[in-house]
Structure 1
Amino acid sequence: MTQTPVKLTFDEYLTYDDGTDNRYELEDGVLIPMTPASPIHSDIVEIVYDTFKAEVKRLGLDLKVKQGDVGVRTRFSRSRQPDIAIIQGEDWRRLRQFKKSAILEVPALLVVEVVSPGEDNENRDYVKKMTEYAEFGIYEYWIIDPLTEQITINFLINGSYQNTIFTGQQRIISQLFPELNLTVEQILIPE
């Protein structure tokens, strides 16, 4: 006999604490546990995070680069925790004033998801999150897929994403960071 999961309201999710260090996304009121990242996943996130941080600093931008610890409310009863989120400094300062979980209710400028192995994970990153991020108004969405060795950059145009796929030694084109000098190989095959 399967047990029906308890559904949480968004406010309950904001204050949810099960006494562990586990992280959860909220999908239609149901907690979705986030498993710890693989070493490859962790390395990829670290490379992209460090690159974005350096670019923000180099350009003197008022942006915050957050790594996996900020949620994005995408619908009434949904919250996602992208591997990386880049947000306006003003939005971050406003969020810091609250004592609840760090959940953005305004669109991030850019989010990154690294696809973990498995059909469910692929569907979540390529379909569900893509739909939610577009509906929420996140302008740039990167999907880094170590299995296919490609990076899909999605730009929000007229309410839906238009994508470009990058592989190998191709220089990644980002509209948020047009001067970025980074290739797929530099991310997926670190030295």
Structure 2
Amino acid sequence: MIQTAKKFYTFEEYLSYHDDTDSKYELVNGELIAIPPASGLHALIMLFLFKQFDKEIERVSLDWVVMPGNLGVRIAENKSRIPDLVIISESQRQAIRSMSSAVLESAPLLAVEIVSAGNPQDDYRYKRSEYAVREVPEYWIVDPIKSKVSVLRLVDGFYDLTEFTGNQKIESQTFPELALTVEQVLAA
């Protein structure tokens, strides 16, 4: 059996990478990691949250934008993640307009990851520490497998965790008036 050496990419190579497919990739320690297509429930939860966040932004007249899972967030020199949803400022939206590859160099206001059966440790462990280093102020982990939503708030460089289940109202510093329960999110 012949093994070929793994190809490691710089951040600049990652930004210009195209493989003539519709596949999305994250850059993790210089390696391209393919993101599998979302399950039906995953996609429905993402759509539900997108609509709820968008309505709340409009209701409160915030100068923010909800972006679905096609906007990268640069974590480090050789690492970029693509959250399922992010909330960005208007200035960040303007900055990505001219980018050939939409990857934020600054932290979004909120990042949301929806846990998939194949990689829960990515969302709970790796992305948690990566988003903290990137200083993402609030990070949601929506877990349909464990029927809970974890809200992590950045305090002094570390995340404080609050978990919500059932018909508990999800408390968010980004959206303090948003009235959503875990049941509503998971019933998407």
Match of 1:181 among 154, 179, 182: 179
| TM norm structure 1 | 0.96
Quote how far apart the aligned CAs of 1:4 are: 3.0
Match of 1:130 among 120, 128, 131: 128
Partner of 2:33: 32
Deviations 1:105-127 (A, max 9, x none): 00000000000003xx1111101
Q: Secondary structure at the match of 2:179?
A: coil
Partner of 2:66: 65
Residue-pair matches, total: 187
Counterpart check, 1:154 vs 2:155: no
Say what the alpha-carbon RMSD is for the aligned residues. 0.9
Quote how far apart the aligned CAs of 1:82 are: 0.2
Question: Residues of 1 paired with 2:105 and 2:52: CA distance?
Answer: 25
Partner of 2:117: 117
Pick which of 87-96 and 26-35 moved more. Answer: 87-96
Quote how far apart the aligned CAs of 1:64 are: 1.1
Partner of 2:23: 22
Partner of 2:163: 165
Pick which of 176-185 and 87-96 moved more. Answer: 87-96
Quote how far apart the aligned CAs of 1:32 are: 0.3
Amino acid at match of 1:126: Y
Q: Secondary structure at the match of 1:24?
A: strand
Partner of 1:82: 83
Deviations 1:21-62 (A, max 9, x none): 110000011000000000010111111111000001111111
Partner of 2:106: 106
Q: Secondary structure at the match of 2:184?
A: helix
Q: Secondary structure at the match of 1:61?
A: coil
Amino acid at match of 2:37: P
Question: Residues of 2 paired with 1:179 and 1:3: CA distance?
Answer: 53
- Among the aligned pairs, what percent are the same residue? 44
| TM norm structure 2 | 0.97
Partner of 1:140: 138
Unpaired stretches in structure 1, ≥5 consecutive residues: none
Unpaired stretches in structure 2, ≥5 consecutive residues: none
Question: Residues of 2 paired with 1:87 and 1:65: CA distance?
Answer: 7
